[in-house]
Amino acid sequence: MLTRRQFLKAGVIGGAMLTAVGSWYGYRHYGVGRGGEPAGLDAEARTVVAALAPVLLRGALPEPPQRGAAVGDVVTGVDRAIRGLSPAARREVQQLFALLVFAPTRMAVAGVREPWSSASSDAVESFLQAWRFSRFALLQTGYAALHDLVIGAWYANPASWAAIDYPGPPEVF
């Protein structure tokens, strides 16, 4: 039988291993922009955003066949937003996506067993709600970052304004 001390040691060692592997994966996987800073979204991170957008924007996205283009616009908007962040914030967002695209950490931390490209909306919804209402502030912050990036990208797009009767920003004279 496992003692409490052995259980805690295993947890710390397992957490350290996941962190190390996730950091290595993020370092090796993500491109680097000018000045040695992380670039925007790579292909796998784009897949994560494409899986999150229909769940976070439920009821706001157009019906198919226009939905695919709208999700693509959201992915592009998130990429643009990340590229506009400070270098430190960009690194943190890249670490978040590295955690979500790396299969072992995706399963362990997000609870999503299948790849993002084939994840069901129920699995994505469960992941988002688990992070949103987590007792850990770090996961709540991760949820808030994903939520704000996706929602911000959608409503920053003039194509979404008509649905909410927003005429656009005021003209500057």
Question: Which range among 15-24, 35-44, 62-71, 98-107 shows the weakest confidence by mean pLDDT?
Answer: 15-24
Give the C-alpha separation, 157 to 72, whole Å.
Answer: 12
pLDDT of residue 158: 92
Give the C-alpha separation, 26 to 70, whole Å.
Answer: 28
* 80, 40 contact by CB (below 8 A): yes
* 44, 115 contact by CB (below 8 A): no
Single pTM value for the model:
0.79
Q: Which residue from 133, 135, 92, 128 is spatially nearest to 110, judged by alpha carbons?
A: 128
Instruction: Check whether 39 has a pLDDT greater than 80.
Output: no
Instruction: Check whether 14 has a pLDDT greater than 70.
Output: no
Proportion of the chain above pLDDT 90, given as a percent? 64
Give the C-alpha separation, 147 to 153, whole Å.
Answer: 10
Residue type (1 letter), 167: P
pLDDT of residue 3: 79
Instruction: Check whether 155 has a pLDDT greater than 50.
Output: yes
Give the C-alpha separation, 19 to 122, whole Å.
Answer: 27
pLDDT of residue 34: 47
Q: Residue 38 in 3-state DSSP?
A: strand
